[in-house]
Amino acid sequence: MKRLLRVAARLYPRAWRDRYGEEFDALIDDMRPRWRDVVNTLVGALIMQISRLALVPVAAAALGAIVGVAITLAMPPVYASSSWVLVQSGGTSAERGQRIRSAIDAAFQETAAGDRAQ
């Protein structure tokens, strides 16, 4: 069981083993390990490995945010607008339809002429 506990202790990050490895080996020599101790050591090693690697996702997220802001600032501004036009007129529906089409065509032509002037 002690050998299994030592194997589980080798799963800790190298910095931890360099600092506490000798003390942990001495502790293992002085105890009668049970399965619970092996599982506890495995869980501790897993938590240490995950906490050591937690910096990678945070750094990737920060880098992604910085790249996103840079791309957003580099893009030219694009403006879009929309509107509703309510036209009320008398006459037959065919006459109203023709007047509406004429008004819309005139508005488009006026807008196109203004765009060409700029």
Q: Give the separation between CA 97 and CA 11, rounded to whole angstroms.
A: 79
**Distance, CA of 100 to CA of 89 (rounded, Å):** 9
- The 3-class SS string of the chain reads CHHHHHHHHCCCCHHHHHHHHHHHHHHHHHCCCCHHHHHHHHHHHHHHHHHHHCHHHHHHHHHHHHHHHHHHHHCCCCCCCCCCCCCCCCCCHHHHHHHHHHHHHHHHHHHHHHHHHC
- Give domain limits for the chain: 2-57
pTM for the full predicted model: 0.45
pLDDT tens digits for range 22-43: 999 998 889 898 899 999 999 8
Rounded Cα gap, residues 5 and 42, in angstroms: 8
Predicted pLDDT of residue 89:
63
Q: Which residue has the higher pLDDT, 65 or 80?
A: 65
